[in-house]
Amino acid sequence: MATGTRGRGGSGAPRAPALRGGGLRLVEEYDALYSRFRPDSGVTRLASDGGSLALPPHGAELGRLLRTLYEQTDGGVSPLIGDRLADAGYDAGYSFTRSAPPSPARRWDRMLTWTDDGVHLSEPAVLDVGAAGKGQLVDLVLEFLMARGHQEVLVDAGGDMRRAGGGSITVALEHPYDPTSAVGTVQLGSGALCASASNRRAWGDGLHHVLDARTGRTVDTVVATWVLAEDAMTADGLCTALFLADPAVLAGTFAFDYVLIHSDGRARYSTPLAGALFT
């Protein structure tokens, strides 16, 4: 998938070639805008030249969410983290070798303008929308399928999923240190479940993909988060934010349920998910 993971979408009905082709085009268009691993993408051009990048209408929704998360985490979640990820070795060439010491990401208000029409950088920088972008793509694929008459739909992009339809399904919460086991299960009805874990993209000596934009350092106090929310973009963004902000702070703005696991093994969760974890 565009965001570095495999994805699948199902509706319980036969899939015509045109439907599959349309879904793949949607993914390709998103990738062409936001992938920092593609030499021909929009964000790669911004990394080289700065300037402006026009975005489709859903770009405004992504920008508003990222700005809110930036403010709710006091700058900890930021699309300007891309340069620091590259410094840590998670670069376009997947070197997985640190090339510079940790340092804070550049400040949003200093150089980034995100409007309903697109983004503008006053100087070159590597944007990374991974905090919520994969979730938004899940939403877009689900909406694409539903607009074509499919009412029972499940889109799963490497554990970030959104479901539409009746009933519910049981989803296991993968153990952050053992991918063959689970720490619990949740019921997913009509809505989204997203997950983030620092072990999923890890390399070197304690390096992984969850960085605090205020310092450029990896977050080592939380190892895994899960969020249930109405849409996958919000759930995905909150999974990232829970590494950096207290759930009570985020709950003042967003409606969601969560489970998070600290590096010392302690679990924290919202009241509706009190029975989700195995004892």
Q: What is the pLDDT of residues 95-111, one digit of tens each?
A: 988 999 999 999 999 99
> CA-CA distance, 77 to 72, in Å (whole number)?
9
Structure confidence at residue 201 as a pLDDT band (50, 70, 90): low
Supply the pLDDT for residue 158: 86
CA–CA gap between residue 153 and residue 168 (Å, rounded): 12
Q: Is residue 139 part of a domain?
A: no
- pLDDT given at position 16: 67
| Nearest by Cα to 209 from 89, 33, 68 | 89
Q: Are residues 193 and 248 in the same domain?
A: yes
The CA distance from 88 to 100, in Å, is: 7
Amino acid at site 107: R
For residues 177 and 268, state if they share a domain. yes
Pick from 72, 98, 121: which residue ends a domain?
A: 121
Question: pLDDT by residue (tens digit) across 49-103?
Answer: 999 999 999 999 999 999 999 999 999 999 999 999 999 998 899 998 899 999 9
Give Cα 130 to chain centroid, integer Å: 5
pLDDT higher than threshold 50 for residue 2: no
From CA 71, how far away is CA 213, in angstroms rounded? 12
Domain range for 49: 7-121
1 part of a folded domain? no
pLDDT for the residue numbered 100: 93
pLDDT at 253: 97
Dihedrals phi, psi of 229, to nearest 5 degrees: -150, 175
* pLDDT at residue 205 in the model: 62
Question: Given this model, what pLDDT does residue 20 score?
Answer: 84
Count of the separate structural domains present in the chain: 2
